Amino acid sequence: MKAALILGTQLLRDHPALTDESVDVVIMIEAQDLCAKLPYHRHKLILLLAGMRHYQELAQSHKSVIYHEIQDTPVFKAALVETLKNNAVTELIWMTSSDTPANRRLQSIADEMNVQTMRYDNGLFITPEQLLREWFEKHPKALMETFYRWQRQRTGILCEGTLPVGGQWNFDENNRQALPKSGIAIPPLPSIKADDITKSVMQSIDALFPNNPGASNNFWLPVTHKSADEWLDNFMTYRFDQFGPYEDAMQNGEAFLFHSVLSPLINCGLLSVDQVINAALTTYGQDDARLASVEGFIRQLIGWREYMYGIYLSQPDLKEANYFGLTKELEDWWYTDAALQQDLPPPVLGALKTVYTYGYNHHIERLMVLGNWFLLNNYSPKSVYRWFSSLYVDAYEWVMVPNVMGMSQYADGGKTATKPYISGGNYLQKMGRWWPTTKSAQQSEFTQLYWEFLDRHYELLQSNFRMALVLKQVAARRNKVS
């Protein structure tokens, strides 16, 4: 018998197992040990498990399905081994997992059982894994912009022949506006009502993981293809036009602004990358006024997202990187809303309120608020990686290792990012108006720690030409003190 294992991060409508005539049965497994690897935000666990249970209905319309629910499944391996034995499975097939350890674990189990294996190509990206590996082997020091232009030309997206629509590849300079001081209407996200299947998952998660971050009663994400489609349509209709100009903006108390909040759905397969690209291009419709928004959105999708996956595949040791030699561990209180009682700067408190509530921050809050704060405070990159992996609904190893270790914490010394992404209060005030005045931002703890960090790592950063100007200021400050 040939069995196909469908993982909770691979809930694609067109998963090849559903139409593979050689597949006799589909296996889906919720397991307590997988959900207990880290203190995951409850919303992430609900998203994946409720998504799996709804997906079971789709799978059953194509194949016989063996499904293990979490309350009855303490250990993933034991459930899989039992299923393979009881059904006399001779061949196991699965879609290549984006997280490479998962593929190794599955292969090891199959080898122990003397079961043959086969893998479908990973359907969560538009760039085949082998092509990614080959590109990064040929371009080991290539910047994301180089990769992005290659992607545009390779796919023809927003291109006229080999040239970019609008005469330039990147409109990032148009996408760095703060919200207007006079205010701006921010459309709400669609309201998601939990059905009986999702409510059952919530009860299981609350019973099994009572101390995990988050609360199940304000779960907010789609868990079916239909509701994910509606979520995508809502973004394109109500927030897409303002996404580009304000994608770097922040506002205290506004968790989502004009962001799509599609990454949780794309990263588990409820939306496909092709589907999202097509929706963006249809909404753009060659309207020049929308070009900056569509380019910025496409850049995140086929540029940054796939570039991060390529970095992950090509740098298997990145998870252990520690360029600055930092060893301090994040305190336990960072994992609970007890952190909100700490004496922390306004941007950090604002971002933490959002992540504890929703398991989400947009990219600037992750990079320039929380990641920045952790780096300035000398926390070890691996400790920061564990925290981000625990708290975010869209977090998986393949995306968190390069984004946190490479981009946010500069732990690889510049292989991923061209400079450390750190700042004092000025930038944060410009993009979010977190302090009463510019002067108070300049005198904030963020600013103090920023200059201390640069002074502490002055010699290490001197080889980075992008840091030359600010290091001159550090030298001047040193001379002034002496």
Contact residues for 341 (Cβ-Cβ < 8 A; gap 6+): none
Pairing of strands 159-160, 163-164: antiparallel
User: Would 170 be classed as within a structural domain?
Assistant: yes
What whole-number distance in Å separates Cα of residue 27 and Cα of residue 80? 8
Residues of the chain with pLDDT under 70: 481-482
For helices 100-112 and 76-86, give the axis angle rounded to 10 degrees: 40
Contact 173, 247 (CB under 8 A): no
* Measured distance CA(318)–CA(268) in Å, rounded: 23
Residue tagged 């207007």 (tokens):
180
Domain harbouring 392, CATH code: 1.10.579.10
Question: In terms of domains, do 289 and 410 share one?
Answer: no
Residue 124's contacts (CB-CB under 8 Å, 6 or more residues apart) are 9, 10, 12, 98, 266, 267, 269, 272, 273
State which of 120, 148, 170 marks the end of a domain.
120
* Number of residues that this document lists for the chain: 482
Through-space distance between the first and last CA atoms of the chain, rounded to whole angstroms: 78
Residue 219 falls within a domain, yes or no?
no
Residue 231 located in a structural domain: no
Q: How far apart are alpha carbons 421 and 362 in whole angstroms?
A: 16
Structural domain ending residue among the three candidates 120, 139, 171? 120
H, E, C per residue of 168-189? CCCCHHHCCCCCCCCCCCCCCC
Contact of 249 with 239, CB cutoff 8 Å: no
Q: Domain check: are 307 and 324 in the same one?
A: no
> Are both 328 and 431 inside the same structural domain?
yes
Alpha-carbon torsion (61, 63, 69, 70), positive or negative? negative
Same domain, 301 and 324: no
Burial class (CB in 10 A: 0-12, 13-18, 19+), 128: exposed
Phi, psi of 46 (to 5 degrees): -65, -45
Give pLDDT, residue 482.
59
pTM of the model: 0.96
**One domain, residues 430 and 451:** yes
For the four alpha carbons of 307, 309, 314 and 319, in that order, the dihedral sign comes to positive
Instruction: Please check whether residues 445 and 380 belong to one and the same domain.
Output: yes
CA-CA distance, 101 to 123, in Å (whole number)?
18
Give yes or no: residues 277 and 418 share one domain.
no
Instruction: Give yes or no for a contact between 396 and 408, defined as CB atoms under 8 angstroms apart.
Output: no
Q: pLDDT tens-digit profile of 34-76?
A: 999 999 999 999 999 999 999 999 999 999 999 999 999 999 9
Residue 82, domain extent: 2-120
In this structure, are 10 and 43 located in the same domain? Answer: yes
CATH of the domain at 139: 1.25.40.80
Which one of 120, 150, 169 terminates a domain?
A: 120
Residue type, 72: D
Closest CA to 313 of 157, 37, 103: 103
Residue 415 lies in a domain: yes
User: Tell me, what's the pLDDT at 320?
Assistant: 97
Residues 399 and 436 both lie in one domain: yes
**15 and 269 Cβ atoms separated by less than 8 Å:** yes
Domain assignment present for residue 224? The answer is: no
Nearest to 403 by CA among 364, 454, 429, 353: 364
Q: What is the pLDDT of residue 77?
A: 99
- 140 with 112, same domain: the answer is no
Q: Count of CB atoms within 10 A of residue 161's CB?
A: 7
Question: Quick check: is 153 in a domain?
Answer: yes
Residue 200 has φ and ψ, to the nearest 5°, of -65, -40
Q: Are 324 and 460 in contact (CB under 8 A)?
A: yes
Q: In what order do the strands lie in the sheet with 64-68?
A: 64-68, 25-29, 2-5, 91-95, 116-120
CA-to-CA distance for 174 and 245, rounded, in angstroms?
6
**CATH number reported for the structural domain that contains residue 62 in this entry:** 3.40.50.620
**What pLDDT does residue 481 have?**
67
Tens digit of pLDDT for each residue in 91-103?
Answer: 999 999 999 999 9
Dihedral angle computed from the Cα positions of residues 418, 424, 430 and 435, in that order, rounded to the nearest 10 degrees:
160
pLDDT > 70 fraction of the chain, expressed in percent and rounded: 100
Query: What is the H or E stretch that residue 95 is in?
Result: strand 91-95
In a domain, residue 439? The reply is yes
Residue 203 lies in a domain: no
Q: Which residues contact 74 (CB under 8 A, 6 or more apart)?
A: 31, 32, 33
Question: Do 264 and 363 share a structural domain?
Answer: no
Number of domains making up the chain: 3
Q: Is the same domain home to 298 and 381?
A: no
